[in-house]
Amino acid sequence: MGVGAPVGVILLAAGIISLVKDLTISKSIDPIYEVNDKESVEVGDLKSFGKAEWKLYFGIEVEDAPPLPDNIEEILNQNCPIFGDGEKVHETHILVLIPASVTIESLGELVQNPQNGGHSSKYASLNLPDELKQKAGEKSYWVLMTKDVLPDTREIGLTSNYLFQNTKEKTYEERKNKVVKHTGYKVYKSREAAICLFVHHVTTGEYLYGRNPLSYACCEEQVEGMYPIDVGDFGPEGLQLRYRTRNLASYVRYGMGALRRFF
């Protein structure tokens, strides 16, 4: 027994080592064990703004950046469920990494002096409670955000004859219902909207939610439980991000955008 015990231990150890090797090999060839480390994607004119871009333009290290979904190319190449007209998702959306550390307030400082040839910008108006301006995120994540407000949420549109149409007022909840009826989509928060619009401008010089036509979108938050925050009128003078102390239903040219979140 005294002689056989060490032999048994050796054989047991050899068996464990063999099992570990088999599992290691299995992980290397079985897709279920593959590690997704996708940090960027480019489809058509869409190029994601991710970890590398935050470092390039703002010197920010996003250490907790999650990878993009495995099927992100498939998502971007799908027909757009919102705008239709044969357009693909990559033509109607932007894809941006939202760092946990960036606040609405700190973002305003960053975009005034981007590095490495980025286009500068600023807030034309920033009228929000300090709590919202200084609020950071709990963790970093990706968003896929629409380049414009949803067509059926815009308050007033202009025809080719410059006559007002669609003048029926829509409340906040009516607009929100138009967004969430699309599977996976949510109304964006003010921090998400500001980050997406600014970083898209930094890389392209383009003003989304701008002035042709004049566009404002209301965000998810409501100040004092009744005054939605609006974002838009983006142009050379900057981006408007504010709330107004009257009911949204009386506004014109307002709509809602939408996004999907990937954690």
Q: Reduce the secondary structure of the chain to three states and give it as a string.
A: CCCHHHHHHHHHHHHHHHHHHHHHHHHHHCHHHCCCCCCCCEECCEECECHHHHHHHHCCCCCCCCCCCCCHHHHHCCECCCCCCCCEHHHHEEEEEECCCCCHHHHHHHCCCCCCCCCCCCEEEEECCHHHHCCCCCCCEEEEEECCCCHHHCCCEECCCCCEECCCCCCHHHHHHHHHCCCCCECCCHHHHHHHHHHHHHHHCCCCCCECCECEEEEEEEECCCEEEEEEEEECCEEEEEECCCCHHHCCCEECCCEEEEC
Q: What is the pLDDT of residue 91?
A: 98
**From 77-81, 122-126, 134-138, 160-164, the region with the lowest mean pLDDT:** 160-164
Residues 82, 103 share a domain: yes
pLDDT of 6 strictly over 60: no
Q: What is the pLDDT of residue 227?
A: 84
Residues 155, 113 share a domain: yes
Q: How many domains does the chain have?
A: 2
Residues 69, 7 share a domain: no
Residues 188, 68 share a domain: yes
Contact status, residue 194 vs residue 240, Cβ threshold 8 Å: no
Q: What is the pLDDT of residue 26?
A: 34
pLDDT of 17 strictly over 70: no
Cα–Cα distance measured from residue 216 to residue 213, given in angstroms and rounded to the nearest whole number? 10
Residues 186, 164 share a domain: yes
pLDDT of 13 strictly over 90: no
pLDDT of 135 strictly over 60: yes
Q: pLDDT per residue over 203-262, tens digit each?
A: 999 999 998 888 999 999 989 888 889 999 999 999 999 997 754 444 546 899 999 999
Residues 71, 111 share a domain: yes
Nearest to 94 by CA among 213, 214, 201, 218: 201
Residues 141, 66 share a domain: yes
pLDDT of 37 strictly over 90: no
Residues 65, 2 share a domain: no
Tally of residues, the chain: 263
pLDDT of 115 strictly over 90: yes
Tokens of 251: 């506004």
Residues 26, 108 share a domain: no
* Average pLDDT value for residue range 59-72: 97
Round the average pLDDT of the chain to a whole number and report it. 83
pLDDT band at 111 (very low <50, low <70, confident <90, very high): very high
Residues 123, 6 share a domain: no
Higher pLDDT, 35 or 144: 144
Residues 104, 193 share a domain: yes
pTM: 0.81
pLDDT of 36 strictly over 70: no
pLDDT of 55 strictly over 90: yes
- Which structural domain range is residue 6 located in? 1-34
Residues 123, 3 share a domain: no
